[in-house]
Amino acid sequence: MDKQVNGLTFARRVKIPLIFFTMSQSLYAERGVSAQKEEVHAATKHLDQGLFPLAFCKIYPDLLGGDDEWVNVMHADGAGTKSVLAYLYWKETGDISVWRGIAQDAIVMNLDDLLCVGICDNIVFNSTIDRNKKLIPGEVIAEVIEGSRMLFETLSQMGVNINYLGGETADVGDVVRTIAVNGTMTARWPKSKLITNEKIQPGDVIVGFASYGQAVYESAFNSGIGSNGLTSARHDVLSKHYAGFFPESFEPSLDPKVVYIGKHLLSDLVMDEAHSIGQLLLSPTRTFAPPMKQLLTHHFDKIHGLVHCSGGGQTKCLKYVPEGVKIVKDNLFEPPYIFELIQQSSGADAREMYQVFNMGCRLEIYCKAEDADIMIETAKEYHIDAKVIGRVEASDKKSLLIHSPSGEIIEY
C-alpha cells in the first residue's frame, strides 16, 4: 500500500524482511565494501610511488613545466555513496539544495588531500558526474554545479584559489544506479614548499583538528561525518522503509539481512530535536583549507607532517609515517553524536569504528611540542576545535596505539 512521508506519497515497490544484524568485518564485505581497500592496494602495489613515497598525495617531477625545482600533483576523489543519501533525502523531502553539499564533498575530498602535501592555492579542478538520467534530472546537475561554484567563491575570499575548468557529465544508467559525483584536482607546486612527511620523528606531537561544530566559513552545524563509511552508516542507521520505497538505492544482489537494518527515517529529529538524521548524515565534508593556508604560508617550517583522516579513519596515519615510529593517540576528541548513533545502530566495536570513521578528528598536524599552540590557535580563529591528540615515539616497528575517550585501548 502507499505511504505518506513528509507530505509525499510513495508506492511500496519491494518487500524485504526486517532482519537486524550485528556489525562485523564480514558485514562490510557482504555489502561490497572494504574499510582498508586491501584489493586496491594490492592492485597498485607495483606502481611508481612518486618522488616522495610517504607524501599524502603522489608527487611527480614537473612534467608540465620541465623545472627541477617544481613538481606536479594530480588527485582524484569524490563524494562516494554519500550521493545515495542525498538522493533519498531529496526524494523524501523535496529539498533539491541537498546536492550542493555533495558537490562540496567531492571537492573537499580532493582539496584536503592536496593540503596534506602543502598545496593550498592556484589549483585546477575538473568534475566528473555520472548519472542515471531516468532518475536524476538536469535540475540536480545544476545544483551540483552551483554548489561547486559557491564553495570556490567562499574559498577564494579566504585566499584559496581554485580554477573550475568544467568537466564531464555522462548519462550511464546501465552503469550507475543513481548518480556518482567525482572530481580531479591538479597543481604545479614549488618543491621547496612540499610537506612530504619525511620529517615526522620521535618527540613530535600530533595536533588534531575537529571535523564537527561550525567553522566561521560554514553556514550550519557540521556533524563531522565527512565522506567515508557512508555505506555502513546508511544501512546501519536507516530503516527497511528505504529498501521498500527506493530499491534503486542499493545493489539488488545484497542479502536482505545487510540492507537498511536500522530503525530511523531521515526526518527523525535527534540532538534535542535540533537536527534530523538526514542533516547529520549529509553534513558536507569540512575543508581545513582556510586555516591551513594561513599555517602553510606563515609557519611552513614548523610542520613536519600532515595526514587527512579519510578512508581508514584514525588508522590512516600508518601509511604515511616513517618506519621506526609508534603513533600514540591518547587524547582524542570525544566522538560527536553521529558516531555514537552509528555505533549504537551497528553494534560495531571501537576497533572497527576508529578504523572506518574519523571519529571527530579529520586532520593531523605533526610538529614539535613547542609549536603546537600555533596550530591550535590558528584553528580556533576559524572556530575549529583543536588540541594535541597524541605523540610520536621511537619503536622497532611502525605501529599505532589508540586510547579511546571511553577507555578502550586499541592496537594496530
* pLDDT per residue of the chain (412 residues) written in tens, 0 to 9: 344 444 443 333 333 333 333 344 556 677 767 655 567 557 667 678 899 999 999 999 999 999 999 999 999 999 999 999 999 999 999 999 999 999 999 999 999 999 999 999 999 999 999 999 999 999 999 999 999 999 999 999 999 999 999 999 999 999 999 999 999 999 999 999 999 999 999 999 999 999 999 999 999 999 999 999 999 999 999 999 999 999 999 999 999 999 999 999 999 999 988 999 999 999 999 999 999 999 999 999 999 999 999 999 999 999 999 999 999 999 999 999 999 999 999 999 999 999 999 999 999 999 999 999 999 999 999 999 999 999 999 999 999 999 999 999 999 9
Mutual angle of helices 82-93 and 230-237, in 10-degree steps: 40
From residue 80, how far is each of 83, 91, 106, 110, 316 by CA, in Å?
7, 19, 8, 12, 18
What's the predicted TM-score (pTM) here? 0.91
Q: How far is CA 166 from the centre of its chain?
A: 23
3-state secondary structure at position 152: helix
E runs forming strands in 330-385: 361-367
